[in-house]
Structure 1
Amino acid sequence: MKNLLYKITCILAFGGLVMSCQEEELNLDNPNALTTEQFWKTENDAQLGINSVYAMFYKDGSFQRWMYFRLDLTSDEGFSQSPWIELADWTRFQYINYNFWEGNVVTWRDTYKAIFRANQVLANVPDIEFQNEDDKKKILAEAKFLRALHYYYAAILWEDVPLVLEPSQPGDLHQQVPVEQIYAQVEKDLNEAFADLPLDWPADQVGRATKGAAKAMLGKAYMQQHKWQEAKEALDYLVIGDGAIYDLVENYKDNFTHLNENNQESVFEIQFGDQRRGGTGEGPDAAVSSTRAQFFAPRGIGWSDGQARYWLIDAFKEESTVDGDLDPRLQHSFFYPDLFEDFGDRTYGREWEWGEDEAWFRKGARDYYRDNEDYYSEVNFRLIRYADILLRYAEVLNELGNTSEAYQYVDLVRARANMAPLAVAYPSIGNDQDAFLERLKKERVLELSGESVRWADLKRWGDLETQASVDEIADRDPDFNNFVVGRNHRLPIPQDDVENNPNLDQHPEY
């Protein structure tokens, strides 16, 4: 009412000045809804901007929830018996509705939302005056790292997607490009990010991208393209180069709880917390936690929408430690019926009632201090840890014909689990590259199962490219009986996006 009276007074008193009076009213700044022009002015704005890109890890389509369904349950390590049939169908290659939100659209949306935020930083921060130009360079490098990370997973999941390098406008119709161009941009961003990222951060900034994280992601991108020499050069930095500051922690379990996070084995981990218990929107109470434990917990503890395949339990029991015991990694990787008998481990304070061939992922579960799960797990997700880098380095060396040199890096990982050196346990491998790779596939499962790397592994190894290899996978994961070679190696693009953008084509196999 006061606003209306003020306008009337303006009209009566100033007559011809009414337009300027109205403009003054319309141009008032709303501190709760700043425009792009009003923001991006100060160093603090730049910092808030890059923080908003990291915040995309806390959204449903990313590593807060649904990415694990895409990377863990769709692989031969996991599956779903969810009563929500359509959800379970999207882990067993039964793609009917390409617009299914939880199975496809939300991850597509949040991927490009993260890319949009990174693009905003890259477009606007260069014009902001900083007291220290190195601080500006770091922020721009972080944005390039995060844009590359999200494009890497877009390439893994959908392959040929739009390449967007500027802040989008509502009417933009972005051009789809082949996956090779996506990887080329990933490489460019990571190489440029590496130059300006620090080796490490102060304690109050831990969790931000580092030089090591950039080289690790670069190595992963090169490996997916079979650029073995380039991958070696990237991983050299972490293993034998100036970035060789990482090591394996003594206790394997420390990689999966909130008690020893950001430790010496962590190359890059997503920082989760339980201090806010809201939703996953943009409000001030938005959660910064993970729901993985809730969705993957055994029956009676969580929703049990994701389970582990039992062949993984058998794989751990194929070889004993040098002392004749079970591989200790099994205890910390899975819940399964004989867990108490094998390790004296009741978990969550009680014995279990489950089928004899059922198993659940344990990594990230909170049974070490509570008896149930919820939507607000504070356990960080170790997106890249040094054990993965060592096994990747061995794979790259083997592909380059340096099989004998590769053994030592596998042995470092095996030694923590008190397993005999590879050459002692499996002397028949020798310098046979194919035999070494087959064993390495098993070593990666034993060390990294349930850590969202298996789907990319299967693609890189070519195990999804022939019917014979898919049939082998189906022997341990019946969901792969639904897998169509040449089709299900990538997701369909959300159909609404295809229909609304003439520059975007649905994958021809769909």
Structure 2
Amino acid sequence: MKQYIKLTIAISLMVLIMPSCKKDLLNVDNPNTITEEQFWKTESDAEKGVNAAYAMFYKPGGWSRWIYFRLDLTSDEGFSNSPWIELADWTRFQYVNYNFWEGNAITWRDTYKAIFRCNQVLANLPEIPFTDNNKKELLLAQAKFLRGLHYYYAALLWENIPLVLEPSKPDDLPAQRPLAEVWAQVEKDLTEALAVLPVSWDAANVGRPNKGAANAFLARTYMQQRKWPQAKTALDYFITGAGAGKYELVTNFQDNFTHTNENNKESVFEIQFSDVNKGGDGDDPNQNMGHNRAQFFAPRGIGWSDGQARYWMVDEFKKEKTTANAIDPRLRYTLFYPALFADFGDKIYGRNWEWNANEAWFRKYQRDYFRTNEDYFAQNNVRLIRYADVLLMYAEVLNELDQTATAAGYVNTVRARSNMASLATAHPAVLMSKDAFRDRLKIERMLELCGESVRWADLKRWGDLETPAKVSAVAQRDPDFNNFVVGKHVRLPIPQTEVLNNPNLKQNDKY
């Protein structure tokens, strides 16, 4: 898949989205492009349409660049000390210009552009004759999965948004829908995709979503709504269902973040990045298929250093030793910090520590394991969901269903990979109540998943952003939350240009 999806996406792109035109003197078809009416005729057109939907992973509003600022840096795990003040302000809840491109508008644009491409597939592909109807259904299922995925993240970021389910036109004025309806659409798309997607793909198609990916995102969707029984049903797939035994934790924790062991047995769904092309982010055959996270999150003098990690996590990693009385080995591959060389013998991109004594930087998805600098073309896949996350989600769901003792076993499985003692041995008190276990799970998820773009969803789901007292507790770890206004900053503002241009949109509460 690392070659199939990435290379075919580049050459399919967006001839399919060109609108058809009325024949008049002021509106003439471009003879050098294909119109929408001319496209959507063959199986090849259908495949290109789906590939164009996958191509949205490589756009800067999403997983190529800016979404990490929204999901990692806005959480209590990260922050920005960028000299670009407006950029940094958008990680510290200082929203002045709602149209700020890099902080808001580009992610909105690329989200709906991705949804538009999925809608094109879902509207046009059913009319195309196929020799193999199963192939057609698999293409439709992928489009539904991708649309559900993009609406999932849109719900996390803006909450009350338009639900656009048909190919849109420039003069459309889609109605804003409440968050509950957005979640319902995500559930519908993922459930319908789940019914068709296979348990596994063949080697040529590794990286496409399968039943595991659909179930994992369904579980996330249910959990954000605190629908614990439904979430358990989705996650049962991995524990007692057809996915049982398919996924395992890899022995080497670092293998989850490098380009040398991608699509491994721990991966549930990952974005297939590549450094084959070193172009820009436009819709052309040479578009960049790498991500820019490494460049923007690398320490000063190595990358742009616009995003870095909160130091409290270093201290948290060091609170508990392994069964061999060593430092938690996950720290080594999670963060750059001043004592990294003293603790593990690792330099930072070949350098001694030259940053401030209280600074830390995200190490996951950085390429210091084979480079001494960074650029815009990082080829290591970003794992949106891995099996360790599934196990910790399952533990959370079981705890919320009053099965705390059983839940502990799944946390222990994750801890054992890093040679950490069982919860009963290391933290016996957390097994005494649901609340105590939940509080410990918040730490366990950080230790395992720090910097993997899940913490913002976690804080929202746990209710840690719902009252001033709870936000104050978060602010003890991350002073940016001193700016957080309850009932307002739990969601982003809708870009103001969208509100002004669409009378069916209302700006989010308190903005």
Q: Is the 8 A contact 1:74 1:92 kept in 2?
A: yes
Q: Which residue of 1 aligns with 2:164?
A: 164
Q: Does 1:286 align with 2:255?
A: no
Q: Give 1:161 shift.
A: 0.1
**1:248 alignment counterpart:** 249
Equivalent in the alignment of 1:447: 448
**Identity value in percent:** 66
| Higher mean displacement: 348-357 or 179-188 | 348-357
1: distance between equivalents of 2:345 and 2:492? 42
CA distance in 2, matches of 1:430, 1:68: 34
Aligned to 1:299: 300
Give the Å deviation of 1:27.
Answer: 12
Q: Secondary structure at the match of 1:384?
A: strand
Measure the CA separation in 2 of the matches of 1:265 and 1:123: 34
Tell me which residue corresponds to 2:58: 58
AA partner of residue 58 (structure 2) = Y
Counterpart of 2:249, as a letter, is: L
* Whole-Å separation in 1 of the counterparts to 2:29 and 2:504: 37
1:350 deviates by 1.9
Aligned to 2:174: 174
Amino acid at match of 1:65: R
**What is residue 213 of structure 1 aligned with on the other side?**
213
2:306 corresponds to which letter in structure 1? D
Distance 1:88 1:404 in 2: 42
Q: Distance in 2 between matches of 1:99 and 1:182?
A: 23
Alignment of 1:167-206 (within 5 A): 167-206=167-206
Matched with 1:81 is: 81
Match of 1:328 in 2: 329
Q: Equivalent residue for 2:348?
A: 347
Hey, what does 1:233 align to over in structure 2? 233
Match of 1:338 in 2: 339
Equivalence for 2:502: 501
Q: Which moved more, 1:410-419 or 1:421-430?
A: 421-430
Q: Aligned partners of 1:131 and 1:27: how far apart in 2?
A: 37
Q: How far off is 1:347 after superposition?
A: 2.9
Asked if 1:264 corresponds to 2:285, the answer is no
Which residue is 1:44 aligned to? 44
Work out the CA distance in 1 between the residues paired with 2:28 and 2:68. Answer: 45
| Residues 1:412 and 2:413 are matched in the alignment | yes
8 Å contact kept, 1:71–1:452: yes
User: Deviation at 1:282?
Assistant: 0.6
1:346 is displaced (CA, Å) by 1.2
Which residue in 2 is equivalent to 1:110?
A: 110
Could you tell me which amino acid in structure 2 is paired with residue 340 of structure 1?
A: F
| Counterpart secondary structure, 1:383 | strand
User: Partner amino acid for 1:468?
Assistant: A
Query: Distance between the aligned counterparts of 1:359 and 1:429, measured in 2?
Result: 29
Q: Which residue of 1 aligns with 2:155?
A: 155
Partner Cα separation in structure 2 for residue 508 and residue 324 of structure 1: 50
Quote the Cα distance in structure 2 between the aligned partners of 1:224 and 1:390: 16
Q: Which has the larger radius of gyration?
A: 1
* Letter of the 2:229 counterpart: Q
Letter aligned with residue 89 of structure 1 = D
Secondary structure in 2 matching 1:268: strand
What amino acid maps onto 2:454 in structure 1? V
1:122 counterpart residue number? 122
Q: Contact between 1:237 and 1:243, CA under 8 Å: does it hold in 2?
A: yes
What does the per-residue CA deviation read over 1:19-45, in whole Å, with 9 as the maximum and x for residues that have no partner?
xxxx9x999997851111111111111
Quick check: 1:90–1:103 contact (8 Å CA) kept in 2?
A: yes
1:400 aligns with 2:365: no
2:407 partner letter: A
Q: Tell me, in whole angstroms, the C-alpha distance in 2 between the residues paired with 1:414 and 1:252.
A: 11
Deviations 1:291-316 (A, max 9, x none): 00000001110000001000000000
Q: Considering only aligned residues, what root-mean-square deviation do their CA atoms show, in Å?
A: 1.4
* Distance (Å, rounded) in 1 between the aligned partners of 2:113 and 2:26: 29
The alpha-carbon deviation at position 174 of structure 1 amounts to: 0.2
Q: Which residue of 1 aligns with 2:16?
A: none
Aligned to 2:490: 489
> Per the alignment, in what secondary structure is the counterpart of residue 429 of structure 1?
helix
Deviation at 1:480, TM superposition (A): 0.5
8 Å contact from structure 1 (residues 348, 370) kept in 2: yes
Q: CA deviation at 1:413?
A: 0.3
d(CA) in 1 for partners of 2:86 and 2:429? 46
CA contact (8 A) 1:347 1:368 kept: no
Distance in 1 separating the partners of 2:42 and 2:251: 44
2: CA distance between counterparts of 1:203 and 1:90? 41
Contact 1:465 1:486 (C-alpha < 8 Å) held by counterparts: yes
More displaced, 205-214 or 72-81?
Answer: 205-214
Distance (whole Å) between structure 1 residues aligned to residue 108 and residue 444 of structure 2: 32
Query: Matched residues in 2 for 1:219 and 1:283: separation?
Result: 36
What displacement does 1:430 show?
A: 2.4
2:164 counterpart letter in structure 1: V
Q: Tell me, what secondary structure is at the counterpart of 2:111?
A: helix
State how far apart, in whole Å, the 2-side matches of 1:508 and 1:472 are: 24
Contact 2:152–2:186 (Cα < 8 Å) also in 1: yes
Structure 2 CA distance for aligned equivalents of residues 26 and 267 of structure 1: 50
TM-score by length of 2: 0.94
Aligned to 1:100: 100
- Alpha-carbon deviation of 1:431? 3.5
Contact 1:222/1:231 (8 A) holds in 2: yes
Whether the aligned pair in 1 keeps the contact of 2:408 and 2:431 (CA below 8 Å) is no
Q: Is the 8 A contact 1:76 1:309 kept in 2?
A: yes
Give, as a single letter, the amino acid of the residue that structure 1 aligns with 2:238: L
Q: Is the partner of 2:61 in helix, strand or coil?
A: coil
CA distance in 2, matches of 1:284, 1:425: 54
* Aligned position for 1:18: none
Name the aligned partner's letter for residue 382 of structure 1: R
Q: Is the 8 A contact 2:199 2:242 kept in 1?
A: no
Q: Distance in 2 between matches of 1:381 and 1:99?
A: 28
User: What's the TM-score once normalised by structure 1's chain length?
Assistant: 0.94
CA distance in 2, matches of 1:468, 1:269: 36
Moved >6 Å (runs of 4+): 25-31
> Using the alignment, how far apart are the partners of 2:211 and 2:65 within structure 1?
27
CA displacement at 1:378 relative to structure 2:
0.2
Aligned-pair CA distance for 1:507: 1.1
- Report the AA paired with residue 471 of structure 2: V
Gapped regions of structure 1 (runs ≥ 5): 1-22
- CA–CA distance in 1 between the matches of 2:472 and 2:365? 31
